Structure 1
Amino acid sequence: MFSRFRNILAGGDVVGRDKITNILPTPTQMDLLSQKYVEEKSNQEMTHVIIDELTHYSNEKHDIRDLKEKLQDAGFDYVIETGELLKEEVSKLIIRNQHYKSAQKIITYLLAEVESIFNAKIKAELLTVNEESALKLLFRTHLEREIQTHLGENVLEIYNRQINGMVYFLTGNCHLEWK
């Protein structure tokens, strides 16, 4: 029976019955950075150089007002204490991970995403917000859910508190305006 199949040239797969092809999704930028972070950490590949984009987000622009004043001016006095605590938490997150280039890139990517989401979806809706629960719902609806989809393995252990803290961090460093 097999003798009649000699001298056959297949231009692809030769399958005796059902062919099952598994196509895996292409790893995302966050997946690749997470893998790189795990490698850097296990190999103790540290850096003392802060990438430019993270420096951009970490440095305050020339606005004289601090986070408290910005939130007061926009009518959000009721989140000042929370905002200052969460801003500090993000600063600590950056300091804790500053010696790993991939961690810097992950944090920078997330800060850029938070800035984009805030400006595109949240800022316009702030006019209708007059209590903390409404603001939390706005952050949950537009910010937390979307950022969580990017986190993947979440090697830096960034949770909703830190995601929300990024808003206050960026506001305090003059990258976001609430009014």
Structure 2
Amino acid sequence: MINWLKNITAGRDVVGRDKITNILPTPTQMDLLSQRYVEEKNNQELTHVIIDELTHYSNEKYDIRDLTEKLQEAGFSYVIETGELLKEEVSKLIIRNQHYKSAQKIITYLLAEVESIFNAKIKSELLTVKEESVLKLLFRTHLEQEIQTHLGVNVLEIYNRQINGMVYFLTGNCHLEWK
């Protein structure tokens, strides 16, 4: 009987009892960028080049109206002060992280997401918004919750204030229209 068992080979896993297979999720683009950011920071890998796409979002496109004018024209005068403050926070976020290529990519990715979500889900609903609380709920429902799911480890410490600030930053730089 022992000779008969010698020539047996297993084509797959050999398990004595229960087989447990753990399948880890594939890391997202944000996970990989966050990991790269930590490595760059630890190794002090600095850059003095701003990636093109971030430059695109940071520069005003063509319109000479500032954020205040755009919000007034669209009927949102009640958020001008908040919008200006939050826009400035995003500008500082960009400046604070401009020397890390992966951080630039994270910020650019988030700006692109904010632009896309605003144009697809928020802009069409702005016509009916008359109160700041309704606007905040729109941002919370469509913008903050979706962006937060992308942040993962959140190595740049970007929270809802900065996410909302990205709307005002993009509006002030002529990438978003409210009317």
The alignment's TM-score, normalised by the length of structure 1, stands at 0.98
Counterpart Cα distance in 1 of 2:81 and 2:114 = 20
Regions of 4+ moved over 3 Å = 1-4
Q: How many residues align?
A: 179
Counterpart Cα distance in 1 of 2:131 and 2:96 = 33
Shift, 1:4, TM fit: 4.5
Q: Which residue of 2 aligns with 1:90?
A: 90
- State the identity as a percent: 89
Which deviations, in whole Å up to 9, do the C-alpha atoms of 1:10-35 show, x marking residues without a partner? 22111122111000000000000000
1:20 lines up with 2:17 in the alignment: no
Counterpart Cα distance in 1 of 2:11 and 2:84 = 64
Counterpart Cα distance in 2 of 1:161 and 1:9 = 61
Shift, 1:154, TM fit: 0.3
Counterpart Cα distance in 2 of 1:57 and 1:78 = 25
Shift, 1:5, TM fit: 2.9
Counterpart Cα distance in 2 of 1:133 and 1:53 = 33
Q: Within 5 Å, give how 1:17-166 maps onto structure 2.
A: 17-166=17-166
Which deviations, in whole Å up to 9, do the C-alpha atoms of 1:64-106 show, x marking residues without a partner? 1000000000000000000000000000000000000000000
Shift, 1:2, TM fit: 6.6
Counterpart Cα distance in 2 of 1:100 and 1:2 = 64
Counterpart Cα distance in 2 of 1:172 and 1:40 = 31
Counterpart Cα distance in 2 of 1:2 and 1:36 = 55
Q: Which residue of 1 aligns with 2:11?
A: 11
Which deviations, in whole Å up to 9, do the C-alpha atoms of 1:19-64 show, x marking residues without a partner? 1100000000000000000000000000000000000000001101
Q: Report the aligned-residue RMSD.
A: 1.1
Counterpart Cα distance in 1 of 2:114 and 2:126 = 15
Counterpart Cα distance in 2 of 1:81 and 1:2 = 85
SS in 1 for 2:23: coil
